[in-house]
Amino acid sequence: MFPLKEFKKSLLVALWFVALTFPLMVIQVDPIERIVNWRWNNMFFVAIGSFVLSVVGKAFFARKEQQLSKKRTAQNEEVQDTIFQRVLREPRYLWPISLACLAFAIAFPFLFSTYQTNVMTTALMYVVLGLGLNIVVGLAGLLDLGYVAFYAVGAYSYALLNHHFDLGFWTVLPVGGILAAFFGIILGFPVLRLRGDYLAIVTLGFGEIIRLVLENWNEFSMGPSGIANIDRPGLFGLDLSLNMSILYLYYLMIFFLIITIFVVNRLQDSRLGRAWVALREDEIACQAMGIDKTKTKLVAFSLGAFWAGIIGVVFAAKTTFVNPASFTFLESAIILSIVVLGGMGSIVGVICGAFILILLPEYLRALSEFRMLAFGGILVLMMVFRPEGLISNVRRVYQFKKNDRGEK
Amino acid sequence: MKFGVRRPLLAAAVALAFAFPAASMAADTIKLGVAGPHSGDLASYGLPTINAAKLVVAEVNARGGVNGMQVELLIEDDVCKPEVATNTATKLVSDGAHVVLGHICSGATKAALPIYKDAGVVVMSPSATNPALTQSGDYPNFFRTIAADDAQAQAEVDYALNVLGLKKIAVIHDKGDYGKGLAEFAKVFIEQSGKGEVVLYEGVTPGAVDYSAVVQKVKRSGAEAVIFGGYHPEASKIVTMMRKKRMNTQFISDDGVKDDTFIKVAGKHAEGVYATGPQDNSANPISVAAIAAHKTTYGTDPGAFYENAYSAAQALLNAIEQADSTDFDAVTKALRTTKTDTPVGNINFDERGDAVGVGFAMYQVRDGQFVEAK
Amino acid sequence: MDYFIELLFSGLTRGSIYALIALGYTMVYGIIGLINFAHGEIYMIGAFTSFVVATVLSIYGFPLLAIIVLAGVCAAIWSSAYGYTIEKMAYKPLRHAPRLSPLISAIGMSIFLQNYVLLAQTSDFLPFPELIPDFAFMEPYAHIVGSSDLMILVTTAVVMVALTILIKFTRIGKAMRATAQDRTMAMLVGINVDRIISATFIIGSSLAAIGGLLIASHIGQINFYIGFLAGIKAFTAAVLGGIGSIPGAVIGSLILGLTESFATGYISSDYEDVFAFSLLVLILIFKPSGILGKAETKKV
């Protein structure tokens, strides 16, 4: 079953990791007291742990390889979809499933505690953020590492307008979105000529610039101490208790999510959506087909930014406090991870990605200090085992059946 | 009061049960929530609070608990991030925490407080020093065992201008919530005093690889002293850089710097640095016992805000004992009226929630130790 | 004038450190087209390893020179080992995956490594032993440029020259350039591409480790988080100079370091990073592939 050779290899892997982790895991020094603490038992744990993981990993890859070769020999002309993808394409399965999900989502606050609802609201916010970034990265293929800047624009527009002019949530919501979209265009213009990773670093820089300005320009943004006591969203002037407002925000997010899914779905199949995909696949060919590259890119940036702005407003209303520390690069990286992990360009994928990445750290709380370690490790493992993302986007394929025209 | 002592507790429990369907109902334990950064880059400020809470709770439980009820700890991480802190707070509230020790960072505390306020939970922070937390009057449920930043900035400025007699002062901060707030107060106090002038006011980026450009700027400004608002990693980098450039400008900083790690890291360059910190409690037997308990249990010296956290845990549990209830009004009243013997002194709290009898003293590093500077 | 020279040196020191890290980014990018976000963490691990080794040796009473050499060598060895392992585990299985998947894997690796060091060692800041002594001949100039600044500049220059020779004239260097130009073609002419990629990671990681050792002993402290900001800055520098180009990374780093230093000195350090990033945007608007990057021309 498990050949001796593989066993030996795993043993070597374990040995390698023992050597690798030796200075950091085994030795601990106290430079003041000048004591060296040799923690030999850690070495033992590393050895056992890496050996087991290596055996499991090897077994997994062996199986994957077998499946792959089977597929190759099957000589099946038709593209094999996973069951999941087939379900997604068939409206007669898709509708009941979506409705069941919706019913579950509506019932959720009554089944679980307030805390769970609150966490779920956060997760829903990230789903919408992911869908927004998906327009930019997944559809138009523009790698954006500073998406959080637009999120910050939305959050601060609500925080500031609420603080200075007492404007309500519903008034600022469109303002925040439009302002963010405007910033999207501002960012879009200079980067039109840039490609791939150059674009990535400029967007990263842009995100940092926005954060630094918020941090340093005290007169405008109150600096790092942030803005507190932002109003929660109102419901026809009713005074909501904490529980009620958590519930209210939750349903609000469900509502936003449905709208977002609807819009993104329609966009994908629209003229504009197809122009984005064309742009992602080949810019030059796209231009040759008469697509206005500038306009298409700018629309992608501003539409993506618009969603971030909207969610920014919701964020400020939910936390009732904003400060620049919430809008770091790591946040952009997490949102990007949602899109890539879920499967670029796929709506269901992004939803799954967001739930995994946002709920994972919450439920990993049980692991306490190992939480972020596990999070990083899982991110790597998921990418290694499913590089296309959890649910990869199904490209529309037209198949010509040979018999249709009576050919041989 | 007409009701028996137990009734308000029961009423509170029922109210809580109504408010949070999934909250555990057991009223036979007192649940003390502990919130703060327990992972991430600021973990070293949050972890000592857990140790302090564990030790206090172990001691109280060994004594037979609070009015016969055992104390249970609910420990939750907020990574010092406001958006996580709201989740943390909701979790603690729905887990039925009666009182909360935390949060550590002012920003996270600000975000979390409205949630506790709505749920009627008393929060006591060992370290959130932002003045607005108590002075704004927005948070009647907030208490702290540490003095606010403005008091600290005042102490620093007074010392620099009046005791050391310096005139030209450079104010530097780390662009953070705490550091920049403090620096702003310092700047205003210097300008108001009319005795000195602020020759430079700048922020440095925490974590940057090198601060020599800022140090050059300090040198060029001709400042006699630097007042720094921020934490020890940046402070030790700036001091080291200044001394390496052969500058002997005085360095005055805050309790984010008055940490033994600062002396360890800055080594010989730390000599002569001034830092404000909570009053010296080494003569206080409770403080000595608290530190000794940490050493025997964990084998190391306690970390940042340990004594404040220890005091806060004691004050909270004592207030519940005095009030004989976890009812919000009763506990806050007890906190304001009854005094508790703690490592930071015999304290109670004023109307705004600041501890009475907790203040700042100025320390100077002499021979590798913080010594109170008179 | 003194002030100007002081700022100049401070900028050059900063730039040299960025350069040591940026080289790793640019080499890896040149060969496999991946932004290796975990590279900043490699630099941090290098600093930590040298910290552990140097402290242990000084406790056992080794002479200073032996400590410097051994700490440097160990840091380079272990950092390379980490770089090599990361490549094998997190990037190699993704070589034919969509372009963004390795990027996410790299971000995950970076989070993992940070927390690994946090747990294995400590969350606290640790005092790094002062490995570079104050040279007596530098004393008259100590108020302008410190001994450690000088040491960093000299080491960086030496490393640059060595690297250039390696890339230009050795067999492995040629193979690297070939792989960077066209991986499939390189395979066809008999280059073991896997081995070349590993070598790239090893070289890049050891440079980062040297950077880690130098900067840690310059500022005298380390913790598990130092890699993040340094990594972002070095990455910016690499792109500024034209990612994939080795002299570009050095020039980009120096420009970035000098900009930050002069912006702090003459304007305000409040906005030093804003200046740095604005400069990046500005340069990329006019030269979309960086200062020395090759403009991508595509035949249709």
pLDDT in tens, C117-138: 988 888 778 888 888 777 777 7
B81 touches chain A (CB under 8 A): yes
CA distance A259 to A311: 13
What CATH number should be reported for the domain whose range is B6-146+283-356?
A: 3.40.50.2300
CA distance A170 to A248: 13
Structure confidence at residue A155 (pLDDT): 92
Q: Is the peptide bond before B103 cis (omega within 30 degrees of 0)?
A: yes
Structure confidence at residue A368 (pLDDT): 63
Region C81-110: mean pLDDT is 88
CB pairs under 8 A between B and C: 110
> Is residue C13 one of the residues assigned to a domain?
yes
- Residue corresponding to tokens 């350069």: C19
Residue extent(s) of CATH 3.40.50.2300 domains in chain B: 6-146+283-356, 150-254
CA distance B89 to A115: 9
Q: Tokens at residue B52, please? A: 């302090």
Average pLDDT by stretches of 10, chain B with 374 residues: 37 40 54 86 82 91 86 87 84 88 86 87 89 84 87 88 88 86 90 88 84 87 90 88 86 85 84 84 84 87 86 90 86 88 86 82 87 80
Beta bridge partner(s), residue B72: B31
C7 touches chain B (CB under 8 A): yes
Chain C residue with Cα closest to A385: C93
CA dihedral A164, A170, A174, A175 (to 10 degrees): -10
CA distance C242 to C156: 19
ipTM, two decimals, is 0.86
> Is residue C293 one of the residues assigned to a domain?
no
Which has the higher per-residue pLDDT, C287 or A69? C287
Selected for mutation to probe chain B from A28, A33, A108, A113 (highest B CB count within 10 Å) is: A113
Structure confidence at residue A175 (pLDDT): 92
Structure confidence at residue C298 (pLDDT): 55
Q: Do A323 and B82 touch (CB under 8 A)?
A: yes
Residue C254's pLDDT band, with cuts at 50, 70 and 90, is: very high
Which residues 6+ apart lie within 8 Å of C254 measured at CB? C11, C12, C15, C16, C19
Which has the higher per-residue pLDDT, B160 or C294? B160
> Is residue C294 one of the residues assigned to a domain?
no
Structure confidence at residue B25 (pLDDT): 39
CA distance A291 to A284: 10
- Least confident window among A260-269, C6-15, C133-142: C133-142
H or E element that contains A37:
strand A35-38
How many residues in chain C? 300
* Shortest alpha-carbon distance between residue C90 and chain A (Å): 6
CA distance B118 to B114: 6
Residue A83's pLDDT band, with cuts at 50, 70 and 90, is: low
Give me the CATH number covering residue C167: 1.10.3470
CA distance B187 to B200: 10
Which residues 6+ apart lie within 8 Å of A31 measured at CB? B264, C55, C126, C127, C129
H or E element that contains B200:
strand B197-203
Q: Are B229 and B156 in contact (CB under 8 A)?
A: no
Phi, psi of B167 (to 5 degrees): -115, -45
Q: Are B100 and B317 in contact (CB under 8 A)?
A: no
Average pLDDT over chain C reads 87
Helix axes C2-32, C39-59, angle to 10 degrees: 110
Chains touching C (at least 3 CB pairs under 8 A) are A, B
Q: What is the DSSP letter of B224?
A: S
CA distance A323 to A155: 9
Whole-number percent of chain C with pLDDT over 70: 98
Residue A386's pLDDT band, with cuts at 50, 70 and 90, is: confident
Q: Tokens at residue C53, please? A: 């080794």
CA distance A280 to A141: 5
Q: Are A148 and A309 in contact (CB under 8 A)?
A: no
* R_g of chain A computed on alpha carbons: 25
Which has the higher per-residue pLDDT, C67 or A116? C67
Q: Do A326 and B132 touch (CB under 8 A)?
A: no
B128 touches chain A (CB under 8 A): no
Residue A148's pLDDT band, with cuts at 50, 70 and 90, is: very high
Q: Are B360 and B106 in contact (CB under 8 A)?
A: no
CA distance A159 to A220: 11
Structure confidence at residue A151 (pLDDT): 93
Structure confidence at residue A112 (pLDDT): 81
The alpha carbon of A153 is separated from its chain's Cα centroid by a whole number of angstroms, namely 19
Q: Are C237 and C252 in contact (CB under 8 A)?
A: yes
Selected for mutation to probe chain C from B45, B187, B202, B210 (highest C CB count within 10 Å) is: B210
Which residues 6+ apart lie within 8 Å of A300 measured at CB? A135, A136, A139, A140, A142, A276, A279
Coil vs helix vs strand at B171: strand
Selected for mutation to probe chain C from B41, B216, B269 (highest C CB count within 10 Å) is: B216
Cβ atoms within 10 Å, residue B193: 15
In b/e form, how buried is each residue of B321-330, taking b as 16+ CB within 10 angstroms? bbbebbbbeb
CA distance B353 to C115: 36
Structure confidence at residue C290 (pLDDT): 82
The alpha carbon of A48 is separated from its chain's Cα centroid by a whole number of angstroms, namely 34
* Shortest alpha-carbon distance between residue A118 and chain B (Å): 7
Q: Are C276 and C236 in contact (CB under 8 A)?
A: yes
- Residue corresponding to tokens 């008469």: A290
Q: Tokens at residue B352, please? A: 């705004």
pLDDT tens-place string over residues A272-309 = 888 988 888 888 888 888 888 888 889 999 999 999 99
Whole-number percent of chain A with pLDDT over 90: 15
CA distance B111 to B125: 13
> Is residue C295 one of the residues assigned to a domain?
no
Residue A382, pLDDT > 70, answer yes
Which residues 6+ apart lie within 8 Å of A146 measured at CB? A187, A203, A204, A205, A206, A207, A208, A210, A329, A332
Residue A140's pLDDT band, with cuts at 50, 70 and 90, is: confident
In chain C, what residues touch B233 (CB-CB under 8 Å)?
125, 221, 223
How many residues in chain A? 408
Residue A204, pLDDT > 80, answer yes
- Residue corresponding to tokens 């306690």: B302
Chains touching B (at least 3 CB pairs under 8 A) are A, C
Beta bridge partner(s), residue B173: B203, B229
Structure confidence at residue C195 (pLDDT): 92
CA distance B208 to C41: 15
Q: Tokens at residue A256, please? A: 């936003």
Domain spanning B150-254: CATH superfamily: Response regulator (3.40.50.2300)
Domain containing residue C44 = 2-286
Structure confidence at residue C83 (pLDDT): 94
CA-angle at B70, arms to B327 and A368, nearest 5°? 95
CA distance B62 to B30: 14
Structure confidence at residue B138 (pLDDT): 82
* Shortest alpha-carbon distance between residue B181 and chain A (Å): 7
> Is residue C298 one of the residues assigned to a domain?
no
> Is residue C296 one of the residues assigned to a domain?
no
Q: Tokens at residue A309, please? A: 């702005």
Q: Do A114 and B22 touch (CB under 8 A)?
A: yes
Q: Which of A319-323, B103-107, B187-191, C92-96 has the highest mean pLDDT?
A: B187-191
Structure confidence at residue A240 (pLDDT): 66
Of the candidates B263, B368, A27, A39, which has an alpha carbon nearest to the alpha carbon of residue C57? A27
Structure confidence at residue A72 (pLDDT): 63
Half-sphere exposure of B209 (CA within 13 A, CB side): 38
pLDDT tens-place string over residues C59-68 = 888 888 899 9
* Shortest alpha-carbon distance between residue C141 and chain A (Å): 30
Handedness of CA C209, C210, C211, C215 (dihedral sign): positive
Q: What is the DSSP letter of C81?
A: H
CA distance B21 to B17: 6
Structure confidence at residue B40 (pLDDT): 67
CA distance C206 to C213: 11
Number of domains in chain C: 1
Structure confidence at residue B240 (pLDDT): 87
CA distance C2 to B366: 33
Q: Are strands B168-173 and B225-229 parallel, antiparallel or unpaired?
A: parallel
Of the candidates B280, B246, B98, A138, which has an alpha carbon nearest to the alpha carbon of residue C140? B246
Which residues 6+ apart lie within 8 Å of A30 measured at CB? A36, A37
Chain B residue with Cα closest to A242: B118
Handedness of CA C95, C98, C103, C109 (dihedral sign): negative
Region A248-252: mean pLDDT is 89
Structure confidence at residue C120 (pLDDT): 87
CA distance B209 to B206: 9
Structure confidence at residue A23 (pLDDT): 87
Chain C residue with Cα closest to B37: C123
Phi, psi of C298 (to 5 degrees): -120, 130
Region A241-264: mean pLDDT is 86
Q: Are strands B142-144 and B122-125 parallel, antiparallel or unpaired?
A: parallel
B205 touches chain C (CB under 8 A): yes
